[in-house]
Amino acid sequence: MYGFLVCGPPGVGKSSHISDMLKKSGLKGNNIIDPDQLEAPTHLEKSEKALELVKESIDKKKSFVYVATCGGLKVVMSLLAAMKSGGFRTIVAIPYTKLSTALERIKKREQVTPEEVTRDLHAFFATKAEAYMKLRNLDEVYLYNNETEFNLLFSRKKKKIVCTGGDFYFDVAKYC
């Protein structure tokens, strides 16, 4: 049983590369919870609905993949604590791309995230992404660069570290 959080700002490839992330982590994703795929009038309502589905999955001890910005560290910490106490394997994957690339990708979408929101969330991740590396209650961490191709830069699984390096929100090399 696992809880897989795919975290990052808009336009980095969270939704479009779920199958790649699952394959590289050796998981099968049959319970993918993505606010962008849910029916609700506003993005906030979609996000709240998704969070409820995550909590329900934890309560029912059902593996899940949660695709979100994960900007609220307190919410993420609460989810991770609930997963740990429920016996879940806790996994976080964070894809990266430059802001300019994300903005170009978003312009091509049906549902366009406002540029100001995208800029704010990218700035947030530029300063907070490293906090996920320091979380003690994570069983696995995956960092990806999705600038031109989807590349695994770093993984930590069962204390085994694989590190190829490359552009990311912070210097990944210090964790290698």
- The predicted-structure confidence for 157-166, as pLDDT tens digits, reads as follows 888 899 987 8
Q: Mean pLDDT in the chain?
A: 89
pTM, entire model: 0.90
User: 14-32: per-residue pLDDT in tens?
Assistant: 988 887 888 777 777 779 9
In DSSP notation, 19-88 reads HHHHHHHT---SSEE-GGGS--SSHHHHHHHHHHHHHHHHHTT--EEEEE----HHHHHHHHHHHHHTTP
| Domains of the chain listed by start with CATH number | 2-175 (3.40.50.300)
User: 104-114: per-residue pLDDT in tens?
Assistant: 999 888 777 88
| pLDDT more than 90, % of the chain | 47
Average pLDDT estimate for 47-72: 92
